[in-house]
A and B are shown apart, each in its own frame.
Chain A
Amino acid sequence: MSPAVWTRLDGAARSLSPMALTVLLIMVGMVPLRVPNLAPVMPALGLIAVYFWLVYHPESMPAWAVFLIGLVQDLLGGGALGVGVFVLLVVYAALAGQRRFFARGSFFFTWLTFLPTAAGAFFLTWMFNSLIADTALDPRPAAFQYLTTVAFYPCVAWVFVQAQRAFLK
């Protein structure tokens, strides 16, 4: 094969890697960790991943990739289908075109911006799950999951920064 084909394949693999990494992370997050009462408050890794890539590498996270990540998360997690997809798309819409806003921001600044973003995302998740279940669901699990997600953000971000250095330079 000619080098051009290899270069193109390499480029395709590189641009795919954020999405593949996110899907892999969601799968790892699915694995039973045998920690008591962890399942309901497991950090929403898909949300963290989509936020991170939209802030630092928006071109690697197009809308269709966000859609697919949400779909995988909904299908594997066993929750209401479509809710995760919709919430991630809303996050996408909120962050698309905000690149200049984040360009100068420090890590702490992006983490701080993640707080309201995730709060909105969890509120929407709670709202749509309640609509689908036809009752007002207990919002406390979502609140706890919000806290663990926000607290877990730096760990996931660190992993992605390493990945970014390895693949995307």
Chain B
Amino acid sequence: MKNPSGSVSRLTTPIKAWVQRFAFLFLVAGAFALMLLGKADTLLVERIRTAVGDAAAPILEFIARPIDSISVAVEGIGKLADLRARNVFLERENERLRHWQAVARRLEAENTALRSLTDMAPDPRLRFVTARVVGDQGGAFARSVLINAGTRDGVAKGQAAITSEGLAGRVVEVGVRSARVLLVTDINSRIPVLVGEGRDRAILAGDNTNQPRLRYLAPGTEIRPGDHVVTSGHGAIFPPGLPIGVVTQASETTMRVQPFVDWAHMEFLRLADYELPGTLLPAQGAAARRSGRRETGQ
């Protein structure tokens, strides 16, 4: 009885170690349970993800702003050097674009006239929500970004996320003030598209590389490098005709598409709210209209 605490600790140490080992195994089992949950794609996982995204979005936004300013400043210095050459280039491009604008106006007028002639159902109106990209380093096995707009801004699941260059991805999870956009390059991304002038239907499937693949083409369709790829509008989620990219590789086995989007400079994303008449709840539309962040487009 000289050292009672010693004998107790001699007794408790194995128990303690056993409890610790048990706790560790419990945590490992937890990790596997999470994998199964994530694979099953349940609503619960989505809720947890959006909750964490909501919590992190303000912090990420706070850090992202100065980084954006710095990168803009650095880029500005770089551009200062070739200001003259750039000016000449832009003037030339402006001229070219003016020409295209005239062509587009003429075609639009013609299109409207023809549509009224054929009594075609009008395309639903498109509205845009603009959001800042606040998180984008998903690692080697995911291509998705976090944006700082959610349901309170009118963002909804399935909306197309676009930049001025073209389609970037699709909204897959929405929180109150944040949302996750699955990029077209992600392995889980599948988008119905039309390819080339023949407007052949295909599915654009990401595989975590920078150039997603074209799949499920009808046999015998001819696709050449340089063909443009646009959204088809099948599935009624995406507006039809959004530019995505050009075909870069068209062999027997693999067809790859280079997206137009400049992934390195994706600072803002516009989310296309594509309202098919009668498919959205009226309350949702009203809530969306109240929001101050949206702009109205065509």
A32 to B135, CA, bound (A): 6
Bound Cα distance A160, B241 (Å): 50
B146 to A86, Cβ gap below 8 A? no
Binds B, one of A40-48, A49-57, A106-114: A40-48
In the complex, the answer to whether B264 meets A35 with C-beta atoms within 8 Å is yes
Do the beta carbons of B135 and A141 come within 8 Å of each other?
no
Tell whether A100 is near chain B: CB-to-CB under 8 Å: no
Question: Which of A81, A93, A132, A138 makes the CB contact (< 8 A) with B45?
Answer: A81
| B211 touches A (CB below 8 Å) | no
B32 contact set on A, CB distance < 8 A: 82, 86
Say yes or no: is A16 at the interface (Cβ < 8 Å to chain B): no
Interface assignment of B59: CB less than 8 Å from any CB of chain A? yes
**Which residues of A approach B to under 8 Å, CB–CB?**
27-42, 44, 63-64, 66-67, 70-72, 74-83, 85-86, 89, 92-93, 125-126, 128-129, 132-133, 137-138, 141-142, 144-145
Whether B139 pairs with A79 at a CB distance below 8 angstroms is: yes
- Nearest Cβ on chain B to A119's Cβ, whole angstroms: 14
Stretch at the interface among B64-72, B213-221, B243-251: B64-72
**Shortest Cβ distance from B110 into chain A, in angstroms?**
41
Q: B56 near A32 (CB under 8 angstroms)?
A: no
Q: A63-B24, A93-B24 are in contact. Are A32 and B267 (CB under 8 A)?
A: yes
Residues of A within 8 A of B63 (CB): 27-28, 31
**Knowing A27-B59, A39-B137, A41-B140 touch, does A67 contact B31 (C-beta < 8 A)?**
yes
Contact residues, B6-37 vs A (CB, 8 A) = 20, 23-24, 27-28, 30-37
**In the bound complex, CA of A79 to CA of B23 (Å):** 25
* In the complex, B263 has a CB within 8 A of chain A: yes
Q: Which residues B176-199 have CB closer than 8 A to chain A? A: 180, 182, 187
Given contacts A34-B265, A81-B34, 8 further A-B contacts (CB under 8 A): A30-B60, A34-B71, A34-B264, A75-B53, A79-B142, A83-B35, A85-B31, A85-B34
In the bound assembly, the distance between CA atoms of A133 and B52 in angstroms comes to 23
Select one of A28, A64, A80, A137 contacting B27, CB under 8 A. Answer: A64
B-side residues, CB < 8 A to A, are: 20, 23-24, 27-28, 30-39, 45, 48-49, 52-53, 56, 59-60, 63-64, 67-68, 71, 133-146, 180, 182, 187, 207-210, 263-267
Contact status A34-B68, CB under 8 Å? yes
CA distance A36 to B52 in the complex (A): 27
- Using known A-B contacts A34-B67, A89-B31, determine if residue A81 contacts B38 with beta carbons closer than 8 Å: yes
Q: Using A76-B53, A137-B208 as known contacts, say yes or no to A32 and B35 having CB atoms under 8 A apart.
A: no
Q: A78-B146, A86-B31 are in contact. Are A141 and B141 (CB under 8 A)?
A: yes
In the complex, what distance in Å separates the CA atom of A7 from the CA atom of B42?
A: 44
Closest 4 CB pairs of A and B: A81-B38, A82-B34, A82-B35, A141-B140
Knowing A32-B266, A38-B137 are in contact, say whether A76-B27 is a contact too (CB < 8 A). no
Q: Is the pair B28, A79 in contact by a Cβ cutoff of 8 Å?
A: no
Report yes or no: B263 in contact with A128, Cβ–Cβ below 8 A.
no
CB atoms of B138 and A142 under 8 A apart: no
Looking at B133, B136, B137, B145, the one whose CB has the most chain A CB atoms below 10 A away is B137
**Contact across chains for B68 and A137 when beta carbons are under 8 A apart:** no
Nearest-neighbor residue (CB-CB) of B144 within chain A: A78
Q: Measured between C-beta atoms, what is the minimum distance from A67 to chain B in Å?
A: 5
Residues of A within 8 A of B140 (CB): 40-41, 125-126, 141-142, 144-145
Asked if residues B264 and A133 are in contact (CB atoms below 8 Å), the reply is no
A28: chain B residues at CB < 8 Å are 63
Q: How far is the CB of A156 from chain B (nearest CB, A)?
A: 14
> Is the pair B264, A37 in contact by a Cβ cutoff of 8 Å?
yes
Of the residues B36, B134, B137, contact of A42 by C-beta under 8 Å = B137
* Closest chain A CB from B209 CB (angstroms): 7
A86 touches B48 (CB 8 A): no
- Give 22 A-B contacts (CB < 8 Å), ordered by A residue: A27-B60, A27-B63, A30-B135, A30-B146, A31-B64, A31-B135, A32-B134, A33-B137, A34-B68, A34-B71, A37-B264, A39-B137, A40-B143, A64-B23, A71-B34, A76-B53, A76-B135, A79-B142, A80-B39, A80-B141, A85-B30, A145-B140
